Amino acid sequence: MTIITPIRTQAEAAYISQFPAFEAGLTTRDPAGLKLRRAAFERFVALGLPHRRIEPYHYTDVRALLREVAGPAVHAKHTVALPEMAVLPSALSALEAFKIVLVNGVLDRARSDLGRLPEGVKVHEEAEPAVDGGLADDPMIALNTAFMTGRVVITIEAGIKLDTPLHLQSMIGGAAVAVYPRVTLEVGKGAAVTLVESHFGPDGVAYQNNSLVEIVAGDDAKIDLVRVNAHGKAAADFSTLAVTLGASNVFNAHSFVTGGALSRHQVFLRLEGEHSVVTLSGAMLLNARQHADTTLVVDHAVPNCQSREHFAHVLDGEATGVFQGKIIVRPLAQKTDGKMMSRAVVLTDGATMNNKPELEIFADDVQCGHGATVGALDEDLLFYLQARGLPKTEAEALMLQAFAGEAVAMIAHDGVREALDGAIDAWLKERA
Amino acid sequence: MVAVKETVEQVRALDVDQYKYGFSTELEVDKAPKGLSEDIVRFISAKKGEPEWMLEWRLDAYRRWLTMTEPNWARVSYPKIDFNDSYYYAAPKMNASPKSLDEVDPAILDAYKKLGIPLREQEILAGVQTSKIAVDAVFDSVSVVTTFKEELKKVGVIFCSISDAIKEHPELVRKYLGSVVPVTDNYYATLNCAVFTDGSFVYIPEGVRCPMELSTYFRINEKNTGQFERTLIIAEKGSYVSYLEGCTAPQRDENQLHAAVVELVTMDDAEIKYSTVQNWYPGDSEGKGGIYNFVTKRGDCRGANSKISWTQVETGSAITWKYPSCILRGDGSRGEFYSIAVSNGMQQVDSGTKMIHLGKNTTSRIISKGISAGRSQNTYRGQVSAHKKATNARNFTNCDSLLIGETCGAHTVPYLESKNSSAMFEHEATTSKISEDQLFYCRQRGLSAEEATALIVNGFVKDVLQQLPMEFAVEAQKLISISLEGSVG
């Protein structure tokens, strides 16, 4: 079917009109980088914003959902004063970690702990994108490449094992702005690291975040990544995680979402070395008219790898949850073991859950499965708890805590896991 | 398990590329000129002696079809179809409407005999056939004969070809035709609306339990023809019918198009059980020839507590694009979908279902078993959705795929959409190969690799086979083994 792209929406027109001025204002004149940006921009012009006829965005019609786009924040980076910002979610404030702070998408050296980073850990900035992510057909990634405001490169040298997490705090503030941060994490052979990304900004300001995190792992590396979306209630958040794993990696990534009016987190993970073990998990607690989309593509290109996914959605009010998970097993990837689970609790008739777990399998000696459930809280269990004297709201909270906690429990780092358990509590208290 | 032994013997007796129903029948035929145009639509309508409203309906569909584009979302690939390169009407030359079987060309009767389809009522009654099944035999573009019409009439059941129904029961046809699958539903359905030639019409009046199984047997015989059949089944309040459908085609090197539309309607407390054994010519092991099967099947549970159950065994066709669905509109209605899709050689299957929960307390169940072998691709694509008002909707989905050999693919693409807090959906899917342990166990007990595979596969699809009427189940079991022929070892 030929897809007829209708006339430009206001948001598309805004992106297109912003680029020439943005490009002219760039201070670096690296021709390769500029070429990448220009090519990405042209691709966006050709593709437009994704809509429901584009299969990967079937349930998140960005064309219809994204009305206005703020200007890029690049020129405003030093004018934002801290008090205007939303503060770090209290649950994470006690977390002991090395801070790497981005203010409106740009590395803020003063607020970061760059001076006291442990040995073997380096953080530096690059002005231009190195690659376009290899995900050329995604218009949101094209926008990140075109409008990127500096790339933060975190390097963990081979053999370095960090006990204390790195905490990337991306704060957005001031007036409504659009920010396009990009982070590259390079983990050397045999290294181990926990990276917490927290994204936050003020409530009531319609800002946009479009971030891309690239991870390249050497053999035997162990990486724990936790992304916390604590954006303001009016924010739009488009984030991509692109991961390429080597051999015998242990990779865990968790996505925790409570913020944003419209958010989409997409993970493209490619297993290129044998004997790696991947766990992806997530807890999404949504209310009001929030829309949160989680899209995963786990690509088994080599044999003998294992992947596990567990995602839990709690939907209150008129919220919409979207889960799309795809496991690809290429012809050579024999002995692949893949399991994917998506569970959702729909608390009201106004809320919607859309699930699309997919298997695409080209090798025969594999064990792959997925499960998806959608439903209300179990009446019998609620009754049991109420019969023991718990008021209904508390009984519900207890069950929801367990439900979301199951996904959070997959986070390896104790401190981070406890912090997020606290965040679930806070969300449930607010709900009550 | 006797059947398993039989299937294994059957497998042995056949070569890889042998398709049992691949013979063709030499007949004098009455054909429309090649190609597709308004004139052809008029030609078909005139041939069928249709009333003016029907012609208008067809022309309207044709004009809409011209504005539509071919869908490309399914996981199937094939060269672009030239819709002007085939014949849209081909009928064996014979009396306008044969009064009895004696007036039907013996060559056609012979063809059905070879296919094992009982057309002679007296033979059936005389006990040559074990059970009583009424058959509507569709040969290329026309219905050749419908058996047991009179006996069914006594209880008020109308079972005839759709062309007869348009003439004899225009009020029913006008009321229901296109009411489940709208004219503009999709590219192939719209094409079917314009050029459909024959098919079956079933009407079960209020409170009647159809006294026998009804069935239609579709046969494509002519070269270069497309078959476009249309089936409409209406079950009034409290009625029940079980309907079977079978299809075969001769072995030919070029691809032939088959685009059917099936519409089912159930009123309060009614039930339709629709079973299909699809065995169109699948092409040879190199992917040459075979039927392109683009089918739109949909049931509408209009009444409260009504039920529609689809059971399909898909072993044929080069390309299968088929999603028998249920619209669960009536409160308490139930939809079921049981499917076995076997692909071998270069076959491509993209099949599944849609369960649209609109009414309260609606339930649905999906059991899909896909088996891929050779270099085939087998995709399950299904949607389950609950509308805001579908309080207490329930769905259970189970899709299992089995891979035999390392050059085939099995894919699962489910869509689950819930807008109601009391709706409960459960979906599970697995993909694996035949377990080495099970194979070893069977072989240790003296079964050959092929016998062991047949046994395990039969076990794998048992849940679905159980849903088929007895005679069909035996046939289907044989068919599955034959389809997997050459895929082991």
In a domain, A337, yes or no: yes
Q: Judged by CB atoms within 8 Å, which residues 45-84 of B form the interface with A?
A: 69-73
| A2 near B CB under 8 A | yes
How far is B274 from B308, CA to CA, in rounded Å? 8
Pick the residue of B412, B424, B487 with the most A CBs within 10 A to test the interface with A by mutation. Answer: B412
* Cβ distance of A359 and B420 shorter than 8 Å: no
- Asked whether residue A80 is domain-assigned, the answer is no
Q: pLDDT tens, B394-441?
A: 999 999 888 888 888 999 999 999 999 899 999 988 888 888 888 899
Domain range for A321:
97-431
Residues from chain B that touch A361, judged by Cβ atoms under 8 A, are 401, 403, 409-411, 431
Q: Chain B residue closest to A339 (CA)?
A: B430
State the smallest CA–CA distance between residue A296 and chain B in angstroms.
14
How far, in Å, CA of B173 to CA of B175, rounded? 5
**Residue at A169 is within a domain:** yes
Question: A369 in a domain, yes or no?
Answer: yes
Tell me if A86 is assigned to some domain: no
Q: How far apart are CA B197 and CA B89, in angstroms?
A: 7
**For residue A87, what pLDDT is reported?**
59
Residue B165 in contact with residue B172, Cβ under 8 Å? Answer: yes
Q: Is A297 on the interface with B (CB under 8 A)?
A: no
Closest among A240, A234, A236 to A255, alpha carbons compared: A240
Q: Is B320 in contact with B294 (CB distance < 8 Å)?
A: no
Shortest Cα–Cα distance, B380 to chain A (Å): 10
The answer to whether residue A382 neighbours chain B at the CB level (below 8 Å) is no
Residue A75 lies in a domain: no
Mutation target to probe the A interface, by most A beta carbons within 10 A, among B343, B420, B437 is: B420
Count of CB pairs separated by less than 8 Å, A with B = 123
Residue of A nearest to B394 (CA): A375
Interchain CB distance below 8 Å, A372 and B425: yes
* Chain B positions in Cβ-Cβ contact with residue A371 (cut-off 8 Å): 426-429
DSSP states of A1-41: -PPPP-SPPHHHHHHHHHHHHHHHH-S---HHHHHHHHHHH
Is B37's Cβ below 8 Å from some Cβ in A? no
Q: Least CB-CB distance to A376: which of B72, B404, B421? A: B421
**pTM of the complete model:** 0.87
* Nearest CB to A375; choose among B409, B411, B424: B424
Is residue A91 included in any domain, yes or no?
no
Give the β-pairing of A98-103 and A106-107.
Answer: antiparallel
> Are A361 and B425 an interchain contact pair (Cβ–Cβ within 8 Å)?
no
A75 DSSP 8-state letter: G
Give dist(CA A385, CA A252) in Å, integer. Answer: 34
Chain segment B199-214, per-residue pLDDT in tens: 889 999 999 998 888 8
Q: pLDDT 10s digit of each residue in chain A, 432 long?
A: 455 556 888 888 889 988 888 888 887 777 888 888 888 899 899 888 999 888 899 999 998 898 888 888 765 444 555 544 555 677 788 888 999 998 888 888 888 898 899 999 999 988 877 776 556 688 999 999 888 888 899 999 999 999 999 999 998 877 788 899 999 999 999 999 999 999 988 888 888 999 999 999 999 999 999 999 999 889 999 999 999 999 999 999 999 999 999 999 999 999 999 999 999 999 999 999 999 999 999 999 999 999 999 999 999 999 999 999 999 999 989 999 999 999 999 999 889 999 999 999 998 888 888 999 999 998 899 999 999 999 999 999 999 999 999 999 999 999 999 999 999 999 999 887
Number of structural domains (chain A) is 1
Phi, psi (degrees; rounded to nearest 5) at A291: -130, 120
A 316-345 residues with CB < 8 A to B: 331, 334, 344
Instruction: Tell me which of B419, B426, B433, B437 to substitute to probe the interface with A (most A C-beta atoms closer than 10 Å).
Output: B419
Contact between chains at B431 and A361 (C-beta distance less than 8 A): yes
Element (H, E) at B292: strand B290-301
Contact A356 B432 (CB under 8 A): no
Q: Determine the distance in angstroms separating the CA of A37 from the nearest CA of chain B, rounded to an integer.
A: 31
Span B122-179, pLDDT tens digits: 554 444 444 567 777 777 777 777 778 888 888 899 988 888 899 899 999 999 999 9
> What residues have CB less than 8 Å from A256, skipping those under 6 apart?
A226, A227, A228, A229, A282, A283, A284, A408, A420, A423
